[in-house]
Structure 1
Amino acid sequence: MPLPFLTADGAFDAQDDAHDGPLAHDDRDRWRRPYRPGPWRVAGSAVLLLLSAFMLLATMIIAFAGTWGGAAVCLAAALSVIALALRILRAGVWVSRTGLRRVGLLTTRTLAWGDVTEIRTVQQPVRWLGLPRTVQGQALTAAVRDGAAMVLATDRNADFLSRGEAFDRAADLVAAWADESRAVPA
Structure 2
Amino acid sequence: MDDRFENPELHEFLGALRRGDILAGTVAAIEPFGVFVALDDGPPHPVFPGVGFVTFPELSWRWLDAVTDVVRVGQRVRGEFLQFDTRNMEARLSLRALQPDFFQAYADEVAVGQEVPGTVRKLVPFGAFVEVADGIQGLVRLEELSTVPVADPADVVQVGDEVRVVVTEVDRERRRVALSRRLCAPGG
TM-score by length of 2: 0.24
Structure with bigger gyration radius: 2
Higher relative contact order (CA 8 A, sep 6+): 1
Q: Which one has the bigger helix percentage?
A: 1
TM-score by length of 1: 0.24
